[in-house]
């Protein structure tokens, strides 16, 4: 008998659980309104203030902010003198922007397969990919788990290479007790709405010297250098990459809360590991991320779905999760198998470990205001979807 026929009310469906949700407090919203009323809404005092806070966070290193975490990497490559005829080593498991910026400066991406446990670039394979044309390495801290900085920089120093750290996902993470961004060569952060802190859209580039920072400022705004009231010179071809004061004010409200946000993410990750350790969930055969509660910022919680003749395709799993009111994501398809990169000569089978992971990786909801009950709902739903398809 239906609930309607029996006279009992139907149980309401639980609210939709998104993959991620930014946390913007009322003080920040009020601060944005103040910026809008001020009449100075493009790059101005809030941008300067945000850069100063980020520099302080990164141990006093020069930092400049931009309108994305993509242009930051392109600008770093340009400052490093990377261009046509050069090669840059990177991973095939990342957002496609990581390799697009290499093409943007006229260089060639050289992909290196991943470590299937960390899902980061396999540093054991990097030196074999270095040629006389290699000028830089772009490692990616996937899901906020840092690449081994000691080994990375030992390789770079040995071969005289620049490093552009794609730390888009690892703001607030650490390596050996030091904040990502406080050490190293170029470090690129993203403040997209799905990141651990946001400026709505935006990014930052951490550099080594004030000379590099000045050059970054030129690339940020059409290559222009101003002197006095009316002096203007254009010494290089730049772009339109500046951050607005509206966005910067959002960032100023976010930065003081990074430890709070990351602490909440860390606790939710612990809950996920606990729940996936229960017998029914453990039987699914999922590959879980590295259980690092010291250095990672838990930007994402990703599982790799089981393979096998009876296994559901990822798209079907995502569709059933969506039908149950739960958002999921794919981070990421293998870069080298996109048409742009196939035309440059890459094919299926070139990086089998990355390809296997990219076919089946699934990102589950994780954000600071998410509750334990919601994590239980995610795991219970995923378990119910996958269990009928386990290989006997």
Tell me the catalytic residues. Answer: 195
The span from the CA of 252 to the CA of 255, in Å, is 6
Residue with tokens 């269990």, as numbered in its chain: 387
Name the maximum alpha-carbon separation found in the chain.
Answer: 82
Three-state SS at 225: strand
- Residues forming beta bridges with residue 110, ordered by sequence position: 89
Of the candidates 117, 37, 115, the residue with the CA atom closest to the CA atom of residue 289: 117
Three-state SS at 270: helix
Neighbours of 310 (CB within 10 A): 11
- Please work out, in degrees rounded to the nearest 5, the angle formed at the alpha carbon of residue 118 by the alpha carbons of 386 and 392: 25
Residues 107 and 88: beta-carbon distance below 8 Å: yes
The span from the CA of 262 to the CA of 57, in Å, is 15
Of the candidates 98, 101, 104, 103, the residue with the CA atom closest to the CA atom of residue 121: 98
Residues 296 and 270: beta-carbon distance below 8 Å: no
């Amino acid at each position: 008998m239906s609930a309607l026929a029996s006279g009992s009310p139907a149980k309401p469906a639980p609210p939709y659980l998104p993959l991620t949700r930014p946390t913007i407090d009322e003080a920040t919203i009020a601060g944005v309104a103040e910026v809008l009323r001020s009449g100075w809404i493009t790059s101005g005092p809030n941008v300067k203030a945000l850069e100063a806070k980020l520099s302080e966070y990164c141990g006093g290193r020069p930092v400049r902010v931009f309108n994305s975490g993509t242009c930051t990497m392109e600008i770093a490559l340009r400052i490093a003198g990377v261009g046509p005829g050069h090669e840059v080593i990177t991973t095939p498991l990342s957002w496609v922007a990581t390799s697009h910026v290499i093409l943007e400066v006229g260089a060639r991406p050289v992909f290196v397969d991943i470590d299937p446990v960390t899902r980061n670039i396999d540093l054991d394979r990097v030196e074999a990919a270095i040629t006389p044309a290699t000028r830089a390495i772009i490692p990616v801290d996937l899901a906020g788990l840092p690449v081994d900085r000691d080994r990375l920089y030992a390789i770079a120093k040995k071969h005289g290479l620049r490093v552009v750290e794609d730390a888009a996902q690892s703001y607030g993470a650490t390596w050996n007790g030091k904040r990502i961004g406080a050490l190293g060569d170029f470090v690129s952060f993203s403040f997209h709405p799905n990141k651990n802190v946001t400026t709505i859209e935006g990014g930052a580039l951490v550099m080594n010297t004030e000379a590099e920072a000045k050059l970054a400022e030129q690339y940020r705004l059409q290559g222009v250098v101003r002197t006095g009231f009316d002096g203007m010179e254009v010494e290089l071809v730049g772009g339109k990459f500046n951050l607005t004061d509206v966005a910067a004010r959002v960032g100023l409200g976010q930065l003081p809360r990074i430890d709070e946000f990351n602490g909440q993410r860390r606790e939710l990750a612990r809950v996920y590991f606990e729940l996936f350790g229960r017998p029914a969930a453990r039987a699914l055969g999922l590959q879980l991320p590295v259980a690092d509660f010291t250095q990672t910022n838990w930007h994402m919680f990703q599982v790799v779905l089981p393979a096998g003749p009876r296994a559901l395709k990822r798209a079907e799993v995502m569709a059933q999760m969506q039908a149950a009111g739960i958002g999921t994501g794919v981070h990421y398809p293998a870069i080298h198998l996109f048409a742009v990169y196939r035309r440059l000569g890459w094919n299926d089978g070139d990086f089998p470990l990355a390809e296997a992971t990219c076919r089946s990786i699934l990102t589950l909801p994780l954000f600071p205001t998410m509750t334990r009950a919601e994590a239980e709902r995610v795991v219970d739903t995923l378990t119910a979807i996958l269990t009928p398809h386990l290989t006997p």
